[in-house]
Structure 1
């Protein structure tokens, strides 16, 4: 699911959002996803009218990670705030290799 951009503008509670974009298909590591999201916000997201949007980032924890990670810059957060975009962080378990 990596990053799903959704539009809830004008939706009533329980109504499905409009799917606007799908970013970094197949990329499940959060640092790379945040980089994709920041580039998308700077090129595309900044042009959205004010509304009710969600960037839903589906990620898996990095194997062996013991610190560090990603940073969502204040510039990206400012774009998100100006268009009314919330950030969802949806953690999924890592995929284990089959033992066959």
Structure 2
């Protein structure tokens, strides 16, 4: 479920977009979310949204991670979009 963008609703969340299926790397996801916002923000009415980045820790990480630009933060704020960072353990297939 790497990036889910939705509008919370009382009965059930309204799905807006699903990005980076199968890619659990946080830096890649932040880049994809920023690109999606640049391309799609004009089509969304300001309201109440959530962008949930679901990521797994990188085995090759030695620090750092995703950088969220001021432009991306501004766009999200203008739309009323919260950012959730949901960390999941690495799951390996096989022995």
Establish whether TM, by shorter chain, passes 0.5: yes
Structure 2 unaligned spans of 5+: none
Say whether 1:87 aligns with 2:72.
no
- Tell me whether 74-83 or 60-69 shows the greater mean CA deviation: 60-69
TM-score, normalized by length of structure 1? Answer: 0.88
Deviations 1:47-91 (A, max 9, x none): 311100000111000003121211010000000000100001111
Structure 2 SS opposite 1:50: coil
CA distance in structure 2 between the aligned counterparts of 1:93 and 1:65, rounded to whole angstroms: 14
Runs of 4+ residues over 6 Å off in structure 1: none
- Aligned residue pairs total 95
Structure 1 unaligned spans of 5+: none
Q: Alignment RMSD, CA only?
A: 1.2
TM-score, normalized by length of structure 2? Answer: 0.93
Say whether 1:77 aligns with 2:73.
yes
In the TM superposition, what are the counterparts of 1:37-56 in structure 2 within 5 Å? 37-56=33-52
